[in-house]
Structure 1
Amino acid sequence: MSLPKGLAEEVARNLVMVARLLDEDAEQAYAYARIALRLASRVAAVREAAGFASYATGKYAEALAEFRAARRMTGSVELWPVMADCERGMGRPERALAMAGEPEVHKLDKAGQVEMRLVAAGARRDMDQAEAAVVTLQSPELASNSVQPWTARLRYAYADALLASGRETEAREWFAKALEADQGGQTNASDRLAELDGIEFTDALDEDGADSGDSHGEQADDADKAGDKGSAKDADKDAGKDSDQS
């Protein structure tokens, strides 16, 4: 509302594109965010959008600067957890932990406090303090049987911390609980359960290609090459998803 109509519409169009592309094409979302930032750097919503676009592309120092600017403009504490996570991304988990103990945390809503707890546990993991991460995640929200938007991710993080601490039986129990609460596919809890149970998934197409190799050697070679490429892509996706959950 503080911008001239034509400029406001141009900025709005770019912000809409940031929102649409952030989860699908972070680099493209970042490009739109930079345009909006160039046009209206004194608008808090623009600084916030630029922060999330930078965060999604791993530009943590840039993201932190934008989030700080947005916070100065609005006075809101809602960005506090993601700001702390930027500190983790920059290799400064101790600063993230310090932020977890600041008074701003008490001003967050329930979702924000859970997010802050997840960030603090992640910082503990960064510092090879798996048992401390387990303790950090123990909370009334974790113990509650009520499923909230954050429940699956909280249970997953707890299971992962238990596993890192060598408590495999408990970890399996909590991965199962995470899967039970995960209605939107936020985690890969099902894959982690399968891994713990020693279940391996085989591509039926690869098996067919191998069976026909005796009579069609050249076609089997082509199929094997295609299968190898597919597996590599799947592995990249799995690795990325695991990284997101941490």
Structure 2
Amino acid sequence: MSLPKGLAEDVARNLVMVAQLIDEDPEKAYGYSRVALRLASRVAAVREAAGFAAYATQKYSEALAEFRAARRMSGGVELWPVMADCERGLGRPERALAMAGEPEVQKLDKAGQVEMRLVAAGARRDMGQLDAAIVTLQSPELASSAVHPWTARLRYAYADALLAAGRESEAREWFAKALEADKDGSTDASDRLAEMDGVEFVDAFDESEDEAEETEESEDSREADVVELDDEGDRDGDKG
């Protein structure tokens, strides 16, 4: 709304492309975000989109700078967890843990607080503190039977931490619980369960094998043609 109409439309088109591509083609999404950033670097939404695009391509230093800029402009705390995760990406888990204890966390909504818990647990694991990571994830949200958009990821993270600590039976139980809550396939809990059960998936149709069979059939056909031609040649010779 703060931009002239024509410029606003150009910026909006680029932001739409960022949103559409960030999961399937993050590099291309990043390119669109840079265009939007050149057009309107003083708009908080643009800085936030640029931050997420950089984050998706593991450009954590750049992402953190954009998130900080967006936060200064908007005054909100919604980006606090992803900013902390950028610190993890930069190899600074201690800083991520410090952010988990800041007053900003108390201002987050429930989804944001769960996200912060996931980041803090990840930081603990980065530091080799598996037991502390498990304890960090233990919460009323984890124990609840209610399913929220973040439930599957929370249960999955807990299962993964248990497995890393060698607690396989408990890990399997929580991978199963994660799968129950994973309505949109946001985790690979089903694959992890199959792996723990020793199940191997084999493609019903292997293109490479099919191509090999076609090649063999083609070679056999050519050999048959050669034999037939030789036979005809021999017959012609006999006639002569």
Aligned to 1:126: 126
Aligned to 2:176: 176
Among the aligned pairs, what percent are the same residue?
81
Distance 1:142 1:209, change over 3 A: same
Distance in 2 between the 1:100 and 1:40 partners?
31
Task: Report the structure number with the largest CA radius of gyration.
Answer: 2
Distance in 2 between the 1:205 and 1:43 partners?
50
Distance in 2 between the 1:206 and 1:14 partners?
39
Q: Does 1:40 align with 2:40?
A: yes
Aligned to 1:69: 69
Q: Which moved further from structure 2: 41-50 or 125-134?
A: 125-134
The normalised TM-score by structure 2 is: 0.86
AA aligned opposite 1:108: L
AA aligned opposite 2:116: M
The 5 Å alignment of 1:217-228 reads 219=216
Q: Does 1:50 align with 2:50?
A: yes
The normalised TM-score by structure 1 is: 0.84
Aligned to 1:145: 145
Distance in 2 between the 1:72 and 1:129 partners?
33
Distance 1:207 1:31, change over 3 A: closer
Q: Does 1:156 align with 2:156?
A: yes
| Deviation, structure 1 residue 204 | 3.2
Aligned to 1:135: 135
The 5 Å alignment of 1:1-246 reads 1-206=1-206, 209=209, 219=216
- 1:204 match: secondary structure: coil
Distance in 2 between the 1:92 and 1:160 partners?
21
Distance in 2 between the 1:217 and 1:205 partners?
14
AA aligned opposite 1:61: S
Q: Cα deviations across residues 46-83 of structure 1 (Å, max 9, x unaligned)?
A: 00000000000110000000000000001100000000
Distance 1:37 1:207, change over 3 A: closer
Distance in 2 between the 1:83 and 1:35 partners?
23
Which runs of 5 or more residues in structure 1 are unaligned? 221-246
Distance in 2 between the 1:7 and 1:202 partners?
52
AA aligned opposite 1:180: E
| Deviation, structure 1 residue 203 | 2.5
AA aligned opposite 1:56: A
Give structure 1 regions of 4+ aligned residues with deviation exceeding 6 angstroms: none
